[in-house]
Amino acid sequence: MNEPVVIIGGGIIGASVAYHLAALYSLENVVVLEKSRLGSGSTSASLGGFRHQFSSETAIRLSIESVKVLDSFEATFGYDPLIKRDGYCFIASSQSSFNQLKKNRELASSLGIEVDLLGNEELQEYFPFYSFEGIIGGTFCKADGHASTSAVLQGYVSKAKSLGVKFFEDMAVTGIVIDNKSVKSVVTPNFSITTSKLLIASGAFSGVVGKLAGVDIPIKPYPRKILVTDPFSDSVPLEIPVIVDIDSTLAVGREGKGVIFADNKPTPSSFELAFPEDYDERVISKAAKRIPSLSGASVAYSDVGLYELTPDSNPIVSKIKEVTGLYCCAGFAGHGFMHAPEIGRIMAEIITGQKTHIDISEYDYRRFDSERLQSSEKLII
């Protein structure tokens, strides 16, 4: 039997790559090692949002192709991804942020995605429940929306299993054996697997896992928290877009009958998911400045998880040059779910030595060799 391709990490990215390896390249020998439960990492915190508004062409192309997959997901995978096109509306109070939103809009339009440009008065007219005081304008894309992260994960896992992929839960990788600058095997407390192709798809832990192979993968964890209110109807309609103020970093949307909000201010890097005791209160009062009725809302539950960021906020989707047979697919900030369908296919192409069907060189690990990084994604939320 051939040596398996081994994937470290059973989140949405590991599952999508595993499926594509098995489906597109008939690789019967693919193994996914997950230290906890499948999807229990950042994937479990994802809100399932997808958007086409980015500052980079590559990111928009990944969204376009991935959303096509989501649209036909049920027919292929048997799981309804519960797509809702409720839209994303980005707003700005500074001229420089507004200029960036306009540039993003032009880029999206050049790729066939319609994005509306709204001035302050139009915003107020469209979304009267929200106070746009001090906001210059914004962009709204009705092709953006949400889907069920767990349905998509289950779709990939069950289809991959039916094609012969083996998933091991509670199976932490504790060692990677390298000899002569090549991958030889991967070690867990229960067994070792001889392999010459190893993918690190370990989300926020990818830097830690990279160290097992003696390489420096510059991905750091950043804790994030999202609050969801009890059912809330006071002045906020049930169907609203996610409204993201890119200057204050406040994001507000709907999760079922509750209102969802988050303050996406950068936090210090940490694996710790604990937030200060008064965190919820502070975020609620920030949100209440925009939606005054929210001051009386009660928080039903919160969702915490890790964002994973590289120095330029773009992911690493490539070979790791120092070690033959080592690959990385991680660092997706807040858009790993929405890009997983297309990224899984591209990573499978890289692992099997194919030419990627879209140019992904922007996400090559070698970019960190140069003193100045080429460009960074400007719209991280």
Ligand X SMILES: Cc1cc2nc3c(=O)[nH]c(=O)nc-3n(C[C@H](O)[C@H](O)[C@H](O)COP(=O)(O)OP(=O)(O)OC[C@H]3O[C@@H](n4cnc5c(N)ncnc54)[C@H](O)[C@@H]3O)c2cc1C
In angstroms, give the least distance from the CB of 31 to ligand X: 11
Rounded CA-CA distance 203/226 in Å is: 19
Residues of this chain that interact with ligand X (CB under 6 A) are 8-14, 33-36, 40-43, 45-49, 172-173, 201-205, 209, 224, 226, 303, 305-307, 330, 332, 334-338
Give whichever of 73 and 332 is closer to ligand X, judged by the CB atom: 332
Which phi and psi (to 5°) does residue 9 adopt? 125, 120
Give whichever of 197 and 224 is closer to ligand X, judged by the CB atom: 224
In angstroms, give the least distance from the CB of 52 to ligand X: 12
Give whichever of 175 and 237 is closer to ligand X, judged by the CB atom: 175
In angstroms, give the least distance from the CB of 292 to ligand X: 26
Give whichever of 136 and 251 is closer to ligand X, judged by the CB atom: 251
Work out whether strand 242-245 and strand 88-92 pair parallel, antiparallel, or are unpaired: parallel
In angstroms, give the least distance from the CB of 251 to ligand X: 10
In angstroms, give the least distance from the CB of 173 to ligand X: 4
In angstroms, give the least distance from the CB of 302 to ligand X: 10
In angstroms, give the least distance from the CB of 334 to ligand X: 5
Give whichever of 136 and 320 is closer to ligand X, judged by the CB atom: 320
In angstroms, give the least distance from the CB of 136 to ligand X: 25
Give whichever of 186 and 284 is closer to ligand X, judged by the CB atom: 186
Give whichever of 85 and 102 is closer to ligand X, judged by the CB atom: 85
Q: Which of 134, 131, 104, 132 is nearest to 117 (CA)?
A: 104
Cβ-in-10-Å burial (0-12, 13-18, 19+) of 34 comes to: buried
Give whichever of 45 and 69 is closer to ligand X, judged by the CB atom: 45
